[in-house]
Structure 1
Amino acid sequence: MNTFSKISCLLFYLSCFTLSWSQSQTTENPYNIVDIYNATKQNYEVASMITPLSTEEIKYDENIVYKKTNQRKLELDVYSPSKKSKKLKPAVILIHGGGWLMGQKENQRIMAQHLAMKGYIGVSVSYRLSLEAPYPAAVFDIKDAIKWVRKNAKKYKINPEKIAVLGADSGGLLATLAGTTSNLEIFSTKEEVSDEIQAVINLDGMVSLVHRDSPEKNSMASIWLNGSREKNEKAWKDASPLQYVGENSPPMLFINSMNSESHAGKNDMTSLLKIFNTYTETRTIPNTPPAFWLMDPWFDMTLNYSINFLNRVFEQS
């Protein structure tokens, strides 16, 4: 990423945070597909909008409450193929980005719908953001969403042994953290239902906040983690998926931009996964804007990489 792109990215996220803070008492969220596209098209002429699918080939089940917190009701959307089949299908839980400060499940609806068109159950989830409840609230929300999917597997004809998580940007860290901490006591909610997942797709998300190549200062992470890395290093380390990689870690796909800051620790993680004979892929898409997965032509690339990975891991034809 060149200097101009880095500055544009910084200003874009800063403006989003300012808007998010000032509008925190409304239902509007400035970090959405339309605003992201409008901010991007000025510097990337090739960018084009993606739009929701409207087809009878998909069952739409939206705004389902999966958890009630002191802050609000957390909802998710379920998209599944309409065609009847006796075969149970893999599910993919989608986690939006936004620096843990902003964003909404609707940003991942289109990807979830396309996954349904490919024979998967796409589940786009909301979770508590930093200004509502700091770390580790979002982690527990994602874990509870995984458990909700497993509890409702029969209703949606989901194979409970084939559940993946796909996370973008900060959601990528959450997805990878969920994948590397399945059933670990540190993030356990003491339920009989497992939070285990069988595959992770990380869209340009960090895997370590304390790696030697990680930036020491990250204002959004500082808000989420109740203090800077210097003041609260334990939380920064505990929130880093790289710390937990082991023999039980699931297969992982990393789809990266050219932004080096999001790469910190990924080579170490893939090396560890290979030591444990865990399948992993890394795909890097050049000339990408921030949130590239929310616009074409990068959306299609992201979808195709994801489907190919999922088909391989879950042995789907």
Structure 2
Amino acid sequence: MGTLPVVLTVFVLLIVTTATGWARPSKRTRDIPYLAPNTAGFDPERHLLDVYQPRRKSATPRPVVVFIHGGSWNSGSKKIYWFIGRRLAKQGFVAVIINYRLAPAVEVPAMADDCARAVGWVASQISAYGGDPSRIYVMGHSAGGGLAALLASGPTVFTRNGLPTGLVKGAILNDPAGINMYDYLQKMEYPDDRKFLIPFGKEPAGWQAVSPQYQVQAGAPPMLLYTGGRTYPSIIKGTEEFHQTLQKLGVQSQYRVIPGRKHVPMVTGLFWKNNIIYRDLRDLAKP
């Protein structure tokens, strides 16, 4: 997971060279602050988002997808994921690609707060970009998948930020990391696992508080879950157990394993318009 931004940067450079002939069916509005600059703790780089909206007119507001990037909770940027914004817009969504603060500057609860506040901005402002504030979906890969799961699991993150609950109508979790960090960090099975104590802290109660496996509640919105067949074992285990928990709670969920796919290709594969995740998302977002 630590090599994710480097590999993605190489991938983006490659697709830029092959995509120069793309028509631009979408409009990108970059670097919109989702917090007022006078907000305490405002970060002029990390509290920004980009909006991708279809140029084609629509008689009705479009569903909205908020994408949360990965990067081991200590790296990553919305700039890398423009191809996801373009693809989503081409398929009829208003896409919002966000930044959020990273470790070591902050720990995961503050990252979740940033993501929730970005969703709050979307709910109040996205109609100006043709989006439907009543149909907001959160989507994330790796660490971003864990944060998206946390937003969808219950109202806690929204209520502590003074935001309405029920803003998220569904979640798309692509090879999500951090679903059960309470279990993962107690085991410390791998040599470099102590690095995760920087974003997650050293207290088991804190690990549990940011683990969707322990925070998800009955009544959570529908979730689509995906793992690569050759991804990290902890991601497979955490996603499988989370899917089982969702089913026990009566939460609508669907879990797919993409055969042969490793962790990074699970997100780079979203460059291709026929990716199964886009197909499932279109079905989820139907009125």
Provide the TM-score with structure 2 as the length reference.
0.84
Counterpart residue number, 2:51: 78
Q: Does 1:50 align with 2:23?
A: no
Q: State, as a whole percentage, how many aligned pairs show the same letter.
A: 23
SS of 1:261 mapped into structure 2:
helix
Counterpart residue number, 2:205: 234
Aligned AA (1:58): S
SS of 2:95 mapped into structure 1:
strand
Counterpart residue number, 1:225: 200
SS of 2:34 mapped into structure 1:
strand
Counterpart residue number, 2:172: 201
Give, in whole Å, the separation in 2 of the partners of 1:303 and 1:285: 14
Give, in whole Å, the separation in 1 of the partners of 2:235 and 2:185: 10
Preserved contact between residue 62 and residue 76 of structure 1 (Cα < 8 Å): yes
Shift of 1:134: 1.9
Q: Does 1:120 align with 2:93?
A: yes
Shift of 1:132: 1.8
Counterpart residue number, 1:42: none
Shift of 1:61: 0.7
Give, in whole Å, the separation in 1 of the partners of 2:34 and 2:122: 9
CA deviation string 1:236-255 (max 9, x = no partner): 11110011222221111112
Preserved contact between residue 95 and residue 166 of structure 1 (Cα < 8 Å): yes
Shift of 1:97: 0.6
Q: Using a 3 Å threshold, how does the CA distance of structure 1 residues 136 and 81 change in structure 2: closer, same or farther?
A: same
Shift of 1:141: 0.2
**If each structure's helix is expressed as a fraction of its own residues, which one has the higher value?**
2
Preserved contact between residue 107 and residue 201 of structure 2 (Cα < 8 Å): yes
Preserved contact between residue 100 and residue 220 of structure 1 (Cα < 8 Å): no
Q: Using a 3 Å threshold, how does the CA distance of structure 1 residues 287 and 301 change in structure 2: closer, same or farther?
A: farther
Aligned AA (1:121): V
Counterpart residue number, 1:148: 121
Give, in whole Å, the separation in 1 of the partners of 2:128 and 2:78: 22
Preserved contact between residue 95 and residue 172 of structure 1 (Cα < 8 Å): yes
Give, in whole Å, the separation in 2 of the partners of 1:155 and 1:83: 15
Q: Using a 3 Å threshold, how does the CA distance of structure 1 residues 213 and 256 change in structure 2: closer, same or farther?
A: farther
CA deviation string 1:166-201 (max 9, x = no partner): 1111111001011102x326862124x446301111
Q: Does 1:248 align with 2:223?
A: no
SS of 1:266 mapped into structure 2:
helix
Q: Between Structure 1 and Structure 2, how many residues are aligned?
A: 273
Q: Using a 3 Å threshold, how does the CA distance of structure 1 residues 50 and 278 change in structure 2: closer, same or farther?
A: farther
Give, in whole Å, the separation in 1 of the partners of 2:157 and 2:170: 20
Shift of 1:313: 1.8
Preserved contact between residue 95 and residue 108 of structure 1 (Cα < 8 Å): no
Counterpart residue number, 1:130: 103
Shift of 1:137: 1.0
What RMSD in Å do the two structures reach over aligned CA positions? 2.7
Preserved contact between residue 150 and residue 216 of structure 2 (Cα < 8 Å): no
Preserved contact between residue 83 and residue 271 of structure 2 (Cα < 8 Å): no
State how 1:1-317 maps to structure 2 within 5 Å.
13=2, 31=6, 33-35=8-10, 37=11, 49-51=14-16, 55-67=23-35, 68=37, 70=41, 72-73=43-44, 74-181=47-154, 183-184=155-156, 188-191=160-163, 193-194=164-165, 196-206=167-177, 207-211=179-183, 215-216=187-188, 218-227=193-202, 232-257=203-228, 258=230, 259-295=232-268, 298-299=269-270, 304-315=275-286
Preserved contact between residue 141 and residue 173 of structure 2 (Cα < 8 Å): yes
Gaps of 5+ in 2: none
Give, in whole Å, the separation in 1 of the partners of 2:174 and 2:157: 26
Give, in whole Å, the separation in 2 of the partners of 1:55 and 1:215: 49
Give, in whole Å, the separation in 2 of the partners of 1:268 and 1:290: 18
Q: Using a 3 Å threshold, how does the CA distance of structure 1 residues 302 and 98 change in structure 2: closer, same or farther?
A: farther
Shift of 1:49: 3.6
Counterpart residue number, 1:45: none
Provide the TM-score with structure 1 as the length reference.
0.77
CA deviation string 1:55-76 (max 9, x = no partner): 3411111111112453622110
Shift of 1:225: 1.5
Q: Using a 3 Å threshold, how does the CA distance of structure 1 residues 60 and 201 change in structure 2: closer, same or farther?
A: same
